[in-house]
């Protein structure tokens, strides 16, 4: 390893490059483990389950927001960046979580929401009082048009105009999400300074990095110009449903502004004050996602990696789809680094979204562990959980309530984690949880799968172990990507090591041309037979061998 990737902490060498190729486990804290019997997960609950996470072999844990919040958007509406919401515990609980995680060799990354706050944040409460107070320009305010309508045509992701009238100032404020989530004005230097102080606060408490929510929403066009229309054939949003008029615009001016790069450099400079802090940015843009990933990760003075949405789409991935995405990534971000996910807290779980049977789900897991980039796994993914069917009367997500029934929202992927069959709540809580738990999930609990060596849980452990045992899979380059007859194949290269990978992404037997090689693992990646240079792959079979 190059010495430039090393730092010293308490006399010990630390890998500053640990994030490159890391496997990151995402936790939605409301739904992981309830420790106090109120039906809502909390930080102490997470701490009690860290041994399970460590047993998977992952490198880090990403925890979705747990800051003080009125919970209109379940923590993504922050009212105090530097405290824990009582629903989740205390700062002491967070410190205990950090300590145990580090004892287990796990890094902790937390979700920072820097593009907007809650309307109950003290900053906004002051800003809305007048046009000339100390924080008057900390949020995006604008006068109405002469006829009293909003200043431009920008739309909110959650439906309706992106502008809300405020009678105190007789102005509109910008909200790209809920009306209760006013957008910060990062054109104001004091706002940037305050947010960077938040970053230091959590780094000083021991966090190892951040997931940056909506990283491309930090700045809006100073001139507030109208967004142009987006042609129907380009409306390919991943998160926003097709029934949402947000998809009818090209968001040229409401996000993705060039000033963002200078702020990200300031952000990275703060991270670099610490031995091995890192970040992954969520790029929310269906049309320019990979291009922005390239812009935001180019060089060593911006963000380390960006969270890409290309594999969070609705249609099942085909071999050629993966080849095309990687080719586009290489063109848009030759110096960049992606972080891939198949599921998260915002989309239908991929087992349901892609209609995967057990064999197909295993194949996609093995394939994921061989991709170039870092990886995010979402809680319950290791159990093969399908999307839950949450009835309208039980919905909590304002997004789903707004667009029901054409879009059912995000609650179906946010139902509680299942640990055991001890009670009807899957070992998550002693009382009814905040979202209903599907009975089918309880049969897939951690305790049940621990007893079955062929269960999905053990497949995830084997796949992660295969990746973690091979530098070429963690940090190596890609080469010779091909999608032929439903088979995805490529090579991973690192130093003198060369790994050949092939994945039959169909339910039929298939063949692929492959060099001779030695199995990376006796437990995974040998779902076929080789005769000369031809490998016959079983349906949904993988072939991963070291060839040099």
| Residues with catalytic function | 213, 273
Q: Report the DSSP pairing between strands 67-68 and 80-84.
A: antiparallel
Asked if 235 and 248 count as a contact pair (C-beta separation under 8 A), the reply is yes
**DSSP per-residue string spanning 164-185:** EEETTTTEEEE-SS-TTSPBB-
The rounded distance, in Å, linking the Cα atoms of 390 and 349 is: 13
Any idea which residue has 């789903």 for tokens?
400
Asked if 248 and 229 count as a contact pair (C-beta separation under 8 A), the reply is yes
Closest CA to 448 of 416, 429, 420: 420
Buried b (16+ CB within 10 A) or exposed e, 344-365: bbbbbbbbbbbebeeebbbbbb
DSSP state for residue 115 in the 8-state scheme: S
**DSSP per-residue string spanning 448-505:** HHHT-TTSHHHHHHHHHHHHHT-HHHHHPEEEEEEEETTEEEEEEEETTEEEEEEEE-
Closest CA to 367 of 414, 325, 417, 334: 325
Torsion angle of C-alpha atoms 286, 288, 291, 292, degrees rounded to 10:
-80
- Bridge partner list, 142: 172
CA pseudo-torsion sign 342, 344, 346, 352 = positive
First CA to last CA across the chain, in angstroms? 19
**DSSP per-residue string spanning 408-434:** --SGGG-SPP---SSSTTTTS-SS--S
């Amino acid at each position: 390893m190059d010495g430039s990737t090393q730092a010293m902490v308490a006399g010990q060498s630390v890998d500053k490059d640990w994030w490159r190729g890391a496997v990151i486990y995402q936790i939605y804290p409301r739904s992981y483990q309830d420790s106090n019997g109120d039906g809502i997960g909390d930080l102490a609950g997470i701490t009690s389950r860290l041994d399970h996470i460590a047993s998977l072999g992952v490198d880090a844990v990403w925890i979705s927001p747990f800051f003080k919040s009125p919970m209109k958007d379940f923590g993504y509406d922050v009212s105090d960046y530097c405290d824990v919401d009582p629903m989740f515990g205390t700062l002491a609980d967070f410190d205990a979580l950090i300590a145990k995680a580090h004892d287990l060799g796990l890094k902790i990354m937390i979700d920072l929401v820097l593009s907007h706050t809650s309307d109950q944040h003290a900053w906004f409460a002051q800003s809305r009082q007048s046009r000339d107070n100390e924080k008057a320009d900390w949020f995006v305010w604008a006068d109405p048009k002469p006829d009293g309508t909003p200043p431009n045509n920008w739309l909110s992701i959650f439906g309706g105009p992106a502008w809300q009238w405020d009678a105190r100032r007789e102005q509109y404020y910008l909200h790209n999400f809920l009306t209760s989530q006013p957008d910060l004005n990062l054109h104001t230097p004091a706002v940037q300074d305050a947010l960077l102080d938040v970053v230091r606060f959590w780094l000083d408490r021991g966090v190892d990095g951040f997931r940056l929510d909506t990283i491309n929403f930090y700045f809006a066009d100073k001139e507030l110009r109208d967004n142009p229309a987006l042609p129907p054939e380009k409306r390919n949003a991943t998160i926003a449903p097709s029934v949402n008029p947000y998809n009818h615009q090209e968001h040229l001016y409401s996000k993705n502004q060039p000033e963002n790069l200078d702020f990200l450099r300031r952000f990275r400079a703060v991270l670099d004050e610490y031995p091995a802090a890192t970040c992954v940015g969520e790029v929310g843009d269906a049309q320019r996602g990979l291009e922005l990933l390239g812009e935001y990760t180019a060089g060593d003075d911006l963000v380390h990696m960006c969270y890409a949405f290309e594999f969070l789409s609705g249609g099942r991935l085909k071999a050629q789809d993966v080849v095309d995405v990687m080719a586009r990534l290489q063109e848009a971000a030759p110096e960049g680094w992606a972080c891939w996910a198949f599921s998260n807290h915002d989309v239908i779980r991929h087992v349901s979204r892609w209609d995967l049977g057990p064999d197909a789900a295993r194949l996609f897991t093995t394939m994921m562990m061989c991709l170039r980039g870092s990886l995010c796994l979402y809680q319950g993914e290791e159990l093969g959980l399908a999307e839950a069917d949450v009835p309208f009367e039980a919905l909590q997500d304002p997004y789903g309530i707004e667009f029901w029934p054409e879009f059912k929202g995000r609650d179906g992927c946010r139902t509680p984690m299942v640990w055991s069959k001890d009670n009807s709540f899957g070992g998550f809580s002693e009382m009814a949880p905040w979202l209903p738990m599907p009975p089918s999930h309880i049969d897939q609990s951690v305790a049940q799968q621990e007893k079955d060596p062929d269960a999905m849980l053990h497949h995830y452990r084997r796949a992660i172990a295969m990746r973690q045992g091979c530098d070429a899979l963690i940090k190596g380059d890609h080469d010779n990507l091909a999608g032929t007859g439903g088979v995805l194949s490529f090579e991973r290269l690192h130093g003198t090591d060369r790994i050949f990978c092939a994945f039959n992404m169909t339910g039929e037997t298939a063949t692929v041309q492959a060099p001779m090689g030695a199995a990376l693992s006796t437990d995974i990646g040998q779902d076929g037979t080789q005769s000369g240079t031809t490998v016959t792959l079983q349906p949904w079979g993988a072939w991963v061998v070291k060839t040099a």
